[in-house]
Amino acid sequence: MKKPIVLVIMDGVGRGDGGPGDAVKQANTPTLDKLMATCPMTWLKAHGTAVGLPTDDDMGNSEVGHNALGCGQIYSQGAKLVQESIETGSLYQSKTWVELTDNCLQNGKARHFIGLLSDGNVHSNISHLIAMLKKAREMGLKKVYCHILLDGRDVPATSALEYVDQLEAVLASLSDAEHEYKIASGGGRMVITMDRYEANWPMVEKGWRTHVQGEGRQFASAKEAIETYRAETNCIDQDLPAFVVERDGAPVATIANGDSVVLYNFRGDRAQEISLAFDRKDFDHFDRGDYTGVKFAGMLEYDGDLKIPMHYLVEPPVIRNTLTEVLCKAGVHEYAVSETQKYGHVTYFWNGNRSGKVSEELETYEEIPSDVIPFEQAPAMKSVEITDLLVEAMASGKYQFLRCNYPNGDMVGHTGVLSAVITAMEAVDA
């Protein structure tokens, strides 16, 4: 029997400089060390222009990385795609932008922007938000509100105030007696709104209650909220609790029925659930209160097969001739496995942002439910379970190409807890 090809993706693991924060170097990894010493190897770029990002200063991410691995081609992605549409003006000429704008101008409705507030260029970029705010003011919109998600994950852990100060300066410059441009609500990205793979719907519900209903602890400003929570919780930005900006004891703005709403994240995995909450009449994951609908758009189409969202500002790249398509045409049986946190990466992203299988007959997917606890508390995650299923699939002789993703390096790495990251590396290596 011919030996199968096995692709093992250790998400978030790369070549470092061996410094005090290099968990890969500090961990005991005899398996990885042996493979690198005795097997043919090379290094691949997983950032910048090599994976379709704007410049080589832009770090890679799981989404574009798996797109590139899955198709072996370079497409303009996320930040680059959006930036090009802003620079050419095509974003503002899109049918969706025009409809959302006309709704505000003709019906006196507010415009809301929801998204990750940083320049990490992984899920969003503050420059895109600022460009759209300025265009909104240029077009005469009078009531515009921002619902900000604090990063501290793709950018320094406690950098939120840098972005808040930048945004507040822009909002102040756009406001006058007739135009109100303000931050209305926010919270850490790992606490509200930005769940993925339906792992934690209560997290999305908390975001809904914060942004839409204006429920939660009130502060005079986003800055006050961040400074207060940091003093009380000692949390990094991504874990800061939700907050609502108030005026005279009431929320500055809630998202009212009929308003226009833009989710300005360009990456799809953590944008889909909140999009469904706004878009779907038959939504049943939590009680939306008296919500009847808004004019909603995502920055991109986050899932082309499932039509999430129904309206978006920028056309996504059409990725063709993925490896899965090529192998299925050749009759090759494939196997893909990971836990929930990265299951979509070896399926959806790997297959060029397509849900479902290319071939039900030739493909087998296995998803292991992830634990809903802080990753540093269980740094091994589901590495044992992934390994067991992968070995079992290899031994079956059914599959000629197998792939898996160990999320540990990425998910535990983002916690910043070095001891936990070292344990995560050793768990995967074992």
Cα gap 406→381, rounded to integer Å: 9
Q: How far apart are the first and last CA of the chain?
A: 27
Rg from Cα positions in the chain: 22
Asked if 16 contacts 22 with a C-beta cutoff of 8 angstroms, the reply is yes
Give phi and psi for 420, each to the nearest 5: -70, -40
Helix (H) or strand (E) holding 250: strand 250-251
Cα gap 242→162, rounded to integer Å: 18
Please give the full DSSP string across 26-38, using - where no structure is assigned: HS--HHHHHHHHH
Enzyme catalytic residues: 62
Instruction: Scan for tokens 């798996």, then name that residue.
Output: 66
Cβ contacts of residue 188 below 8 Å, gap of 6+? 149, 150, 152, 235, 237, 238, 239, 240, 241
Cα distances from 16 to residues 19, 21, 157, 201, 313, in angstroms, run: 8, 9, 19, 35, 37
| Cβ burial, residue 156 (10 Å; 0-12/13-18/19+) | middle
Cβ atoms within 10 Å of 132's Cβ, excluding its own: 21
Helix (H) or strand (E) holding 85: helix 78-88
Instruction: Scan for tokens 């079956």, then name that residue.
Output: 396
Taking alpha carbons only, the member of 185, 167, 88 closest to residue 127 is: 167
Helix residue ranges, H only, 154-281: 160-174, 201-211, 222-233, 272-279
Cα gap 144→87, rounded to integer Å: 22
Asked if 76 contacts 84 with a C-beta cutoff of 8 angstroms, the reply is yes
